[in-house]
Structure 1
Amino acid sequence: MPARQNDRMIGNRTTHRTADGVRIPGTWRHAFIRNGGQYFLTDLFIFADGIVDCWGFVTLDEFEKKLRSGWVATSFPEGADVSAHGLASWKFAEPHTWLTPELLLAEVRETVEQLNGRPDSTARCLAAVDVFLADRTEENRAAARAAYLAIPETRRHYALGDMDSKDWPLQALVAGPDGELEEWSDEPVSQEDYDEAITYFEERARSIAERSPRTPADGSATSFAPAVHLYESYVRQPTDDPGTAALRNDYPAPVDIDGVTYPSVAHAYWALSVTGEDTRAAVLATGNANMARRIAAEAARRPGWEHARTAVMTSLLRAKYTQHPDLAEILLATADATVVYDDSDSAFWGNDTGQGRNWTGRLLELVRSELQARRAGILPA
């Protein structure tokens, strides 16, 4: 069967990986890996920090070497064996590809720029077009033309985001009347084509100006502060300067719940989770939060506990930071950072190297927001 390398834009799919508690956004595109003389259809993952997963994490420089060596393949010999893991296997017949190592590397570099919100070659080209339209000198046209040619060939059709006209108006504009670009045409641009391109861009500018802004009305969708990672710690006594260790549930900060004082949030959580009064007393009596967990783990859970536990934890965290203003200041100092909570015993409460649900971290962010709202006078004290 004929093999045709996909020339669509990278970036219309989203993924992420977690590194040191920080969520790194990414995307992917289809690609072929050549291993042991056989070609494998797979996915190439590109992340905002410049790491590429091509059957192993590599930097951009290392990725270029993978391309040059043919490990990431952009050309395919007639009759070569191909496999799509667990789906099918076949041989190449009359293979055609539009990609070269240079083009795929350019696409990947462009994608890293996009993932970081930085102007890529398409944005730079459109900015150069705006300069030309404002001052139509041949010098500005030449700059726009050079910026257009700097866009990877596989992306030029999508530069205007117009699936009907593709990049034809852009081509006509940067070539000018009687001009031509040998990459796409053997005939010069007519005056009529050029005038249509000018009209196209004028209408496009009006449409963009009239477009409603998409900025969220109530603020950014992402945090501005770096992530805070609450690593597992085993602090037995409170200290004058505990740092973010004080945000751990097992930190010795007593909380009063319905007239009962528990040594920590963890103690209160495990005591409230069990049915027997003797077990609750044993949990309350131990000075070790880890031991409190062990005692509770051997006892029967209260009916409906699994569905009530997040509400219970929320109440306990509110109590902790209401009853300990000094610890509330530590939580508030994290601003709007993502809170990543380690819990080696629970993928529900902990982050679990990016695979867990991180409910403790999420509830800490909720309580922090409530504290910020009260401080700002938005919610009553």
Structure 2
Amino acid sequence: MLNRIHRVEDGRRIEGVTRPIFIHNFSYHLTNLLVFADGAINCWEWVDLDGLREKLDCGWVVTAVPEGGEISAFELGRWKAAEPMFHLTAEELLGEVADDIERLNGRPDSTDRCLSALDRYLESRDEADRLAMREAYLAIPEHKRHYALGDMDHKDRPLVILCTGIGEPPIGGWFDDGEAVTEAMREWALDYFADRDRARAEYESKRPADDPPRPAAGTVHLGGRVFPNGPPEDAGLAVLQIEYPAAIEVGGAVYPSVAHAYWALSTADPEDRERVRTAERSYDAQRIAGAAPRVPGWPDARTAVMAGLLRAKFDRHPGLAAVLLGTGDAPIGYTGPDSDHWVSHGEAGRNWIGRLLELVRSELRARELGIPLQVGRV
């Protein structure tokens, strides 16, 4: 199992991974090989890939413990190997570490390079490209030469057939029976890849049945507009803000805006609620409510409350609903000084007001289409 790590050098973060190995220093110490993107490797000493090969050659780093060898796992304890079974050779470990360094740098590893060579050969059918593909396949660590294609049924059999010349035994003794590759086997392998490419193209072009026929429009950004002297005659998309003065009725009381209603409903005391409701501006409503006791459990209910208030606003004001529908299917990003729960601050914030506006917009569209949204009990 690989674990991600990093080190910092000269103020630069260098990504890395760990691999389990044994250090043979009198006993066999189970520890981690530290592999970093810059090629630095720590095996209780700092080395590079060539240095790791030297450590494997001299027996300092090992991938197996002999019968009776004493194994130490530091504080976990010590024991002796009895009937040990290990599956990774020194050469395979070197190949794995080389691939780790490539992946840490965002570059193709040995399997990726082989699959690229396969694509080139399938396109050109040139013998030089086939030999390059063969060489690339043999460069994959041997224990990984089974699932390069990601096919649990055929494994790498079609790839091995193409890598092998007609009349030759499969490279690496891949077939148990040692049968030489025939022209019919080559045709089967080519048909396999043709079918695979067709299936891949169909999958990549397939879209869910309920997806829109075109990509969503660019994000609509809302928030930040205040109306100290009342809104202008044409406030544009700012009419969608919760502070915009569009009266709504909740529980028999009329509130000047969604913001007034939200903050009033959050207060536990009826007198405070009334003071918030009658505040001149939404800013004042929030300030008054902020100094008052909150309804117990309010944070757990606030998202549902906001959803209901937004529905009330656009149900009561069809002109504002038309503006919301006019945003099409664009994502809505809501910014402002509110908590991260409600707004988006760059990469931060949960943007719940924006998300709820998108939900209400979808509900309005469903209503236009005559789609029932109320589901009755059976």
TM-score interval (norm. to shorter): 0.5 to 0.7
Residue by residue, what CA displacement relative to the aligned partner does 1:284-328 show, whole Å, maximum 9, x if unpaired? 222221221121122222345333322221111011122223322
Task: Specify the code of the residue in structure 2 equivalent to 1:199.
Answer: W
Look up the match of 2:45. 80
Aligned pair 1:269/2:234, yes or no? no
Task: Specify the code of the residue in structure 1 equivalent to 2:9.
Answer: N
Question: What CA distance in whole angstroms lies between the structure 2 residues aligned with 1:193 and 1:38?
Answer: 54
Q: TM-score, normalised by structure 1?
A: 0.59
**DSSP-derived class of the 2:299 partner:** helix
Residue by residue, what CA displacement relative to the aligned partner does 1:201-259 show, whole Å, maximum 9, x if unpaired? 54676689899977534326996233333343323322344333322211222223344
Question: What CA distance in whole angstroms lies between the structure 2 residues aligned with 1:100 and 1:286?
Answer: 62
Look up the match of 1:160. 149
Question: What CA distance in whole angstroms lies between the structure 2 residues aligned with 1:79 and 1:359?
Answer: 50
Look up the match of 1:260. 253
Residues 39 and 81 in structure 1, CA contact (< 8 A), matched pair in contact too: no
Task: Specify the code of the residue in structure 1 equivalent to 2:37.
Answer: V
Q: 1:269 offset after TM fit, Å?
A: 0.8
Residues 232 and 342 in structure 1, CA contact (< 8 A), matched pair in contact too: yes
Residues 172 and 197 in structure 1, CA contact (< 8 A), matched pair in contact too: yes
Q: 1:194 to 1:338 in 2, by over 3 A?
A: farther
Q: 1:352 offset after TM fit, Å?
A: 4.5
Residues 14 and 37 in structure 2, CA contact (< 8 A), matched pair in contact too: no
Aligned pair 1:177/2:170, yes or no? no
Look up the match of 2:98. 98
Question: What CA distance in whole angstroms lies between the structure 1 residues aligned with 2:235 and 2:363?
Answer: 22
| Aligned ranges 1:190-339 → 2 under 5 Å | 192=181, 195-200=184-189, 202=191, 215-219=207-211, 224-236=216-228, 237-339=230-332
Residue by residue, what CA displacement relative to the aligned partner does 1:255-289 show, whole Å, maximum 9, x if unpaired? 23344332210001111222333222221222221
Aligned pair 1:107/2:108, yes or no? yes
**DSSP-derived class of the 1:340 partner:** strand
Aligned length: 301
Instruction: For CA contacts below 8 A with separation 6 or more, give which structure has more relative contact order.
Output: 1
Look up the match of 2:9. 35
Question: What CA distance in whole angstroms lies between the structure 2 residues aligned with 1:192 and 1:284?
Answer: 84
Q: 1:226 to 1:178 in 2, by over 3 A?
A: farther
Task: Specify the code of the residue in structure 2 equivalent to 1:233.
Answer: R
Residues 177 and 194 in structure 1, CA contact (< 8 A), matched pair in contact too: yes
Q: 1:293 to 1:157 in 2, by over 3 A?
A: farther
Provide the aligned C-alpha RMSD in A: 5.1
Question: What CA distance in whole angstroms lies between the structure 2 residues aligned with 1:270 and 1:378?
Answer: 33
Task: Specify the code of the residue in structure 1 equivalent to 2:107.
Answer: A
Question: What CA distance in whole angstroms lies between the structure 2 residues aligned with 1:259 and 1:124?
Answer: 72
Question: What CA distance in whole angstroms lies between the structure 1 residues aligned with 2:351 and 2:277?
Answer: 26
Q: What's the % identity of the aligned pairs?
A: 35
Task: Specify the code of the residue in structure 2 equivalent to 1:76.
Answer: I
Task: Specify the code of the residue in structure 2 equivalent to 1:35.
Answer: E
Question: What CA distance in whole angstroms lies between the structure 2 residues aligned with 1:314 and 1:169?
Answer: 56
Q: 1:348 to 1:102 in 2, by over 3 A?
A: closer
**DSSP-derived class of the 2:221 partner:** strand
Q: 1:271 to 1:32 in 2, by over 3 A?
A: closer
Residues 159 and 189 in structure 2, CA contact (< 8 A), matched pair in contact too: no
Look up the match of 2:351. 358
Residues 373 and 379 in structure 1, CA contact (< 8 A), matched pair in contact too: yes
**DSSP-derived class of the 2:306 partner:** helix
Unaligned runs of 5+ in 2: 18-34, 48-54, 62-92
Q: 1:286 to 1:34 in 2, by over 3 A?
A: closer
Question: What CA distance in whole angstroms lies between the structure 2 residues aligned with 1:275 and 1:41?
Answer: 51
Bigger radius of gyration among the two: 2
Q: 1:180 offset after TM fit, Å?
A: 11
Q: 1:166 offset after TM fit, Å?
A: 4.7
Q: 1:244 to 1:37 in 2, by over 3 A?
A: closer
Residues 74 and 100 in structure 1, CA contact (< 8 A), matched pair in contact too: no
Q: 1:147 to 1:368 in 2, by over 3 A?
A: farther
Task: Specify the code of the residue in structure 1 equivalent to 2:181.
Answer: E
Unaligned runs of 5+ in 1: 7-28, 44-69, 83-90, 112-119, 133-138
Question: What CA distance in whole angstroms lies between the structure 1 residues aligned with 2:133 and 2:216?
Answer: 34
**DSSP-derived class of the 2:311 partner:** helix
